[in-house]
Homo-oligomer: A and B are copies of this chain.
Amino acid sequence: MAVIRRLPRYYQYLNRLQKKGIQKISSTELARMMGLTASQIRQDLNSFGAYGQQGYGYNVVDLRFEIQNLLGLSENYNCIIVGAGHLGHAVSHYERFAREGIYITAMFDVDTELVGKNVGHLPVYHVDDMGKYVKKHKVDIAILCVPADVAQGISNLLVGCGVKAILNFSAFDLNVPEDIFVENINIIDSMFTLTYRIGEKKRHIEEDLNESMFEEEEDVTTLF
């Protein structure tokens, strides 16, 4: 699983290398760029059948192509955004998706102010029409940008209509059948992880301070 998590990162780095016109890369160089070890890189890539050449390294174009295939990006995907608020709007502007064959074709919302209009370049339809749309256009992936309290209901509807995967921004842990893939992006949780760490560091500093004060007191006692 950890290897799979690293695959998109390999892909991003190889894209950058290819764009710069770099033709070959050693595991050592790639390791330095990515903050991994060279042996980790070789192990990861070997596990996917990509072997570097001794004294040459990896051919950037070939390796990039192999990882693109592995990531399923030689196929096209139909995609919708559910929730036409600010976040849905922001995600609709990720041009990178279309360049990789992931085509976002519509947004859905319940807000009658938005339904029938365009948000960015995408038409907004009513959630009531979502099921029909998903079936007709064989939607593979739904990007869920709805509030937590409606997320499960929307997810049930999407899964029932044949959606295969959900990119879930809703801060709700979706309950889906085993063969449906969910990736959670929880912005609030990530922020709280940062405040936890800042707080933890502060607690450590205070503890150290208390300890050193205690030590000083001891020293004073010893003196008398």
Interface, chain A (partner B; CB < 8 A): 4-5, 7-9, 11-12, 34-35, 70-73, 75, 77, 85-87, 89-91, 93-94, 96-97, 100, 102, 140-141, 164-167, 171, 173, 175, 179, 181, 183, 185-202
Copies of this chain held together in the complex: 2
Give complex CA distance A12, B167 in Å. Answer: 19
The prevalent SS among residues of A at the interface is: helix
B183 touching A193, Cβ below 8 Å: yes
- Residues of chain B within 8 A (CB-CB) of A190 are 167, 183, 185
Q: Are B179 and A91 in contact (CB under 8 A)?
A: no
Listed by A's residue number, 16 A-B pairs whose Cβ atoms lie within 8 Å are A4-B196, A72-B202, A85-B93, A86-B86, A86-B89, A97-B188, A97-B191, A100-B195, A102-B195, A141-B194, A164-B201, A165-B197, A167-B190, A181-B198, A183-B190, A183-B193
- How many Å lie between the Cα of A190 and that of B89 in the bound state? 18
Contact of A188 (CB < 8 Å), options: B8, B181, B194, B196: B8
Residues in B whose Cβ lies below 8 Å from that of A85: 90, 93
Q: How far is the CB of A124 from chain B (nearest CB, A)?
A: 16
Contact pick for A140, options B71, B185, B198, CB 8 Å: B198
